[in-house]
Amino acid sequence: MITEKMLEGENIRLGYFAEKDLENILEWHTGELFMRHLDAVPVKPRTKDDLKKQWLEETSDAFRFAVIHKNTEKVIGFAEVNGVLWTHKTAWVSLGIGSEEHWGKGYGREALQCLIDYSFNELNLHRLQLTVFSYNSRAIRLYEKFGFKKEGAFREFMERNGQRYDMFLYGLLRRERQKSPE
């Protein structure tokens, strides 16, 4: 059973995206720094219609949440469980805090705690996995604090500004999870 506590941290809560949130999402997707931490594909112009398909349409193997700041009720990021393999109780997770003004304030930590709780307690998953670029040291520290283990590397996976970077694979088993680090 989903409880309000499961989807709520001290400063944020997980909710659903609405059409009114597309402007914020569009802003994130045109921000080079956010996109370079999120995806390996080149940053390109996006329209609200593109984003509407990606962010507002539901699928049976994805659970996408808006990260909402409780004081302002503004959407500041996303948290997602996707690619669920129900037979194996395994899924991918991803997380992003959109605007730099919200980085480094613990919102990502709170959102990840909610996502892990939801994945293991509500979806009854056994394993969560994610990929992260080697230069995203803040995200790597966060994942490791929650008990995610580095399981492999896609060596020299991508090139950015003339330099090659690895992409790491991390996994978390239900029994390895850590409660919210401070």
Quick: pLDDT tens for 114-159. 999 999 999 999 999 999 999 999 999 999 999 999 999 999 999 9
Residue 72 pairs with which residues in a beta bridge?
none
Per-residue pLDDT band for 41 (boundaries 50, 70, 90) equals: low
Q: Yes or no: say if 60 and 97 are a contact pair by the CB < 8 Å rule.
A: no
Cα separation values, 176 from 140, 148, 149, 172, Å: 16, 8, 9, 6
pLDDT digit string (tens) for 79-88? Answer: 999 999 999 9
Please give the CATH number for the structural domain made up of 12-173: 3.40.630.30
Which structure tokens are listed for 50? Answer: 């593109």
- Residue-range domain boundaries for the chain: 12-173
* Among 121, 95, 99, CA closest to 174: 121
As a whole number, mean pLDDT of residues 63-70 equals 92
Q: What is the pTM of this model?
A: 0.85
Distance CA 112, CA 109 (A): 5
- Around 171, how many Cα atoms within 13 Å sit in the side-chain half-sphere? 11
Which structure tokens are listed for 81? Answer: 């469980």
As a whole number, mean pLDDT of residues 33-48 equals 62
